[in-house]
Amino acid sequence: MRLGIRELRHNWKKYLLVEIIVVLMMFMVLFLSGLVKGLGRAVSSGIDNMKADTFILKEDAEKQNSAIL
């Protein structure tokens, strides 16, 4: 334990850089997941807000209508 604390005190700049990189990567993951969730809602909200009772799809739609269901 003492050796680890001594190493952190001696090379604090190196470990600070690693911590900053980890925090930035966490921010990027959270940002991208929020962006994907928001874009998914934007795509499906157009279908949800339509005033249609039924939708007519081609037979070869191949389950691409997951936003409708």
Within a domain: residue 67?
Answer: no
Within a domain: residue 66?
Answer: no
* pTM value > 0.85: no
Within a domain: residue 55?
Answer: yes
Calpha distance 37→13 (Å, rounded)? 36
What's the domain range around 28?
2-61
What digits encode the pLDDT tens for the residues 14-67? Answer: 889 999 999 999 999 999 999 999 998 888 888 788 888 887 777 777 766 555
Calpha distance 55→47 (Å, rounded)? 10
Within a domain: residue 11?
Answer: yes
- Look-up: residue for tokens 């795509």? 43
| Total count of domains within the chain | 1
